[in-house]
A = this chain, B = another copy of it.
Amino acid sequence: MFSKTCEYAIRATVLIAMEGRHGRRMSLVEIARSTGSPQAFTAKVLQQLARSGILDSTKGARGGFDLPPAKAKKVKLNMVVKAIDGDHVYKGCGMGLPQCNARKPCPLHDHFQQVRDDLRHMLESTDVHTLSLGLERGTTYLKR
């Protein structure tokens, strides 16, 4: 569904949001460890998220990544997905046609419509702050 890179991005963002609730900032090392993601690669992903304005990053000693609650409430999943994978997932054609729309639909177009709309709606209405709550309560998990 999403690229592996995007999965790392989502995991990291939710985790950082959880720490952000306590005003804490996380280092790359902690993030990679807690999400079970390869460190160097995660660094790239975090950079992308920071450049996209989704995360705040601070360089230098005691630096790291953070996402304060106020901001986390405004960061919807679709922003993360879009920053990494683009919006192809919930906009592109299920059969891969470059131009597929209501006027010239692929055979799957109508059947896919609802699924895609559902997905898009879910991604647009789910914010990172909400997702971080379960993590904190211990009712959801980031590593197997």
Q: Which residues of B contact A11 (CB under 8 A)?
A: 95-96
Contact B95 A10, beta carbon cutoff 8 Å: yes
A118: min CB distance to chain B, Å: 5
Bound form: Cα–Cα A109–B135 in Å: 12
Q: Is the CB of B111 within 8 A of A118?
A: no
Number of identical monomers bound together in the oligomeric complex: 2
Q: A4-B96, A94-B2, A118-B118 are in contact. Are A105 and B144 (CB under 8 A)?
A: no
Q: A70 at interface (Cβ–Cβ under 8 A)?
A: no
B141 with A105: CB separation less than 8 A: yes
Q: Provide a sorted-by-A list of 30 A–B residue pairs whose CB atoms are within 8 angstroms.
A: A1-B89, A1-B92, A2-B94, A4-B96, A7-B95, A7-B96, A8-B96, A11-B96, A77-B108, A97-B141, A97-B142, A97-B144, A100-B144, A104-B141, A104-B144, A105-B139, A105-B140, A105-B141, A106-B140, A106-B142, A107-B131, A107-B132, A107-B134, A107-B142, A108-B126, A109-B140, A111-B122, A114-B122, A115-B119, A118-B118
